Amino acid sequence: AEAYPIILQNKITTHNPIIVVGGGIAGVSCAESLSVQNIKLPILLVSGSPVVKRAVNIRNESGTVLNFDIEELSLGSLTTEINRVKVLYGIVTTLIAEHNAVTINNNFSIRYSKLCICTGATPQLIGDESTCVYGIRDTDSVELVQAKLRDSRRVVIVGNGGIALELVYKIKGTEVVWVIRDNAIGSVFLDKGAAQFMLSEMGNKETRNKDKKGFRYIQGSKGNLAYAPGGVHIRGSALGPDWTDELDIDDVLTGKNIRIEYNCEIKHIQLQETNNSMVEGYNREWPVHVLLTNSKIIECDMVVSATGVQPNVYPFSKDSHLKISTDGGIIIDEEMRTSLPNVYAAGDACTVNWTGSAIEDNFWFQMRLWTQALQMGNYAGKCIASHLNDEYILQDFCFELFTHSTKFFGHKVILLGNFHAAGLDKIDVEFLLRYGKGDEYIKIVLFQEKMVGAVLIGETGLEEMCENLILNQLNLTDLKDNILNPDIDMEGYFD
Ligand code: FAD
């Protein structure tokens, strides 16, 4: 990769560069944001990989819901694309905070005026390639997994977040055993109802309901399903599995060659070469045997691990003054500052420790996602500039509302605010629900008669309305029965 030569700086000067470490979305958006601020200092991006990631074609799906594409660029082309930013291909190996310096490749040190750590996170794997366990981290690992899948008859997938969901949906022609710790799929993002909705998608598309408002359910007093012609609501926070009992998921899965092992984890992985077999009748036809905590043994060709991430903080956490959260991230305050002077952090590497108004209302929380990496990197750039210029900075409004726009099982999914009703007193929680088989699944979370979150699956067109109602905290006592009534144009009224 082309990289700009760097002049070593041994003296403390007022012109030391602002150093951003990490060429992911957070680091690049921080450097981009710095490049348009009113600051004179040089900006240096240090990346441990020769290819960097940049968010492009950023568009607002609604007021706060962002969508963008991710472009991969060589370090060299980044310098031509972003004015004033120089790049260095190297790994930061030490932080010498007392000298405001970082060491690169254990070789030389550079002093900084301000440092922003955007080193991302690494997937936690339950094994490695020597045990036929493959993880997905980046483009290279995706290609490797794809190639291995082509030669596999049966694969075990472990994990229950977005990566596992997408993988299970995309794999064709290979038998899948999906091992999840919970009692429903996709529990990081989806409730049980949404999970069942997704699973029904694995079946044939002919069951898709053309009249998208056709199926609506209300949970009756005995917990039975009942057809409700208008808007519906369900009281209590446990949107149990009962309302979806009538969807025949097992049939759907049989056709797809997918088996789900719920409520269990992998206990042990054994390769064929190993002499000790786990059970009598060890089948040598399969190279890998996986023992589950429910005592089942799965014979397969490979295991794909998609079980969460661990922030990359090692070279920095060697400094005992840098505060690290229990989840492994670098703790930052509401202006992206770490516990060390002049050191900031953004993206997957950090853990927010905010106590601002947004948090009090519980509409925003941290999740290690592209959008948040972009927003944090961008905001960190603004914070650094405002601190250098001694200016007051208001927290960016994007931190007022959690938003995530993605696709699961081919469906558009938008998650807003406290969409999983976390930490709310169940007595005051109410769910509004609309369901159209194959087309849409909408769940609105009300807390004390006000909207606090929403799950919108499908082309619902309700994102703007929900966003506004969450942010303005309108009392919905008189409106809630009609908010999801498809015959009333509520979205036009509120957006
Ligand atoms: P990263 O993108 O991890 O970038 C970190 C950078 O720091 C890298 O360039 C690395 O080389 C560099 N680096 C690390 N240590 C050092 C060092 N010591 N010195 C120098 N450089 C260093 N999110 C979504 O919103 N939607 C999705 O669909 C989605 N899918 C995903 C699929 C996969 C397989 C994975 C792994 C994640 C996915 N995510 C998704 C999460 C998303 O990718 C991350 O939240 C986001 O990329 C974090 O960006 P970042 O810039 O903080 O970190």
What tokens were used for 431? 């769910």
Residues 157 and 253 in one domain: yes
The pLDDT of residue 202:
65
Q: Are residues 301 and 313 in the same domain?
A: no
Do 144 and 87 reside in the same domain of the chain?
no
Question: Residue 140 C-alpha to ligand 1 middle, in angstroms?
Answer: 13
User: Is residue 207 scored above 60 in pLDDT?
Assistant: no
In sequence order, what are the residues at sequence separation of 6 or more whose Cβ sits closer than 8 angstroms to the Cβ of residue 99?
12, 109, 111
Average pLDDT over residues 263-277: 79
pLDDT given at position 283: 64
Q: Give a yes or no: residue 7 inside a domain.
A: no
**In this structure, are 267 and 412 located in the same domain?**
no
Nearest CA to ligand 1 atom 6: 22
Please check whether residue 115 lies inside any domain of the structure.
Answer: yes
Q: What is the pLDDT of residues 15-24, one digit of tens each?
A: 799 999 999 9
pLDDT at 84 over 70: yes
The yes-or-no verdict on residue 108 having pLDDT over 50 is yes
Banded model confidence at residue 491, pLDDT cuts 50, 70, 90: low
Q: Residues 88-103: what's their mean pLDDT?
A: 92
Q: Does some domain include residue 106?
A: yes
pLDDT digits (tens, 9 = 90+) for 137-188: 766 777 788 888 888 999 999 998 888 888 888 888 889 999 999 888 888 8
270 with 320, same domain: the answer is no
- Asked if residue 174 and residue 51 are part of one domain, the reply reads no
Pair 115, 179 in one domain: no
- Regarding whether 93 and 115 lie in a shared domain, the answer is yes
Q: What are phi and psi of 185, to 5 degrees?
A: -75, 155
Q: Is residue 218 assigned to a domain? A: yes
Mean pLDDT of the region 43-59: 92
Asked, for residue 335, whether it belongs to a domain, the answer is yes
Angstrom CA distances, 206 to 200, 255, 412, stand at 11, 14, 19
> What's the CATH number where 462 sits?
3.30.390.30
Last residue of a domain, one of 286, 305, 324: 305
Same domain as 257, residue 144: yes
3 located within any domain:
no
Residue 317 lies inside a defined structural domain of this protein: yes
d(CA 398, CA 199): 32
What's the average model confidence in pLDDT over 119-145?
81
Report which residue type is found at 69: D
Report pLDDT for 474. 93
Q: Which atom of ligand 1 is nearest to the CA of 370?
A: 25
**Which residues, in sequence order, are CB contacts of 52 under 8 Å at separation 6+?**
23, 24, 27, 28, 45, 72, 73, 74, 75, 78, 87
In terms of domains, do 38 and 117 share one?
yes
What percent of the chain clears pLDDT 70, i.e. is strictly above it? Answer: 80
| 369 and 329 both lie in a single domain | yes
User: Domain residues for 170?
Assistant: 129-230+238-305
Q: Which of 94, 116, 97, 137 is nearest to 37 (CA)?
A: 116
Task: Please report the pLDDT score of residue 285 as a whole number.
Answer: 84
Q: What is the CATH number of the domain that holds 92?
A: 3.50.50.60
Ligand 1 atom having least distance to the Cα of 104: 19
Residue 35, CB-side half-sphere exposure with 13 Å CA sphere: 19
* Residue 485: per-residue pLDDT: 80
CA of 24 relative to ligand 1 center, distance in Å: 5
Q: What percent of the chain has pLDDT over 90?
A: 46
Q: Check whether residue 134 and residue 283 sit in a common domain.
A: yes
- Structural contact between residues 329 and 317, judged by C-beta atoms closer than 8 angstroms: no
Question: What confidence tier does 191 reach under pLDDT thresholds 50, 70, 90?
Answer: confident
Three-class DSSP category at 212: coil
- Give a yes or no: residue 8 inside a domain: no
* Domains held by the chain: number: 3
Burial pattern 217-253, b for ≥16 Cβ within 10 A else e, equals bbbeeeeeeeebeebbbbeebebeebbbeebebeebb
Of 275, 305, 335, which one is at a domain's C-terminal end? 305
pLDDT of residue 130: 79
CB atoms under 10 Å from CB of 373, counted, come to 28
Expressed in angstroms and rounded, the spacing between residue 154 Cα and the centre of ligand 1 is 29
What is the distance in A from the centroid of ligand 1 to the CA of 403? 18
**Ligand 1 neighbours by CB, cut-off 6 Å:** 21-27, 46-49, 53, 91-92, 118-121, 123, 136-137, 162-163, 312, 315, 347-349, 368-371, 373, 406
Asked whether residue 277 carries a pLDDT value surpassing 90, the answer given is no
Ligand 1: atom nearest CA of 92 is 19
pLDDT band at 444 (very low <50, low <70, confident <90, very high): very high
Distance, CA 54 to ligand 1 centroid (Å)?
11
Which of 251, 282, 305 is the last residue before a domain boundary? Answer: 305
What does the pLDDT read at residue 371?
A: 94
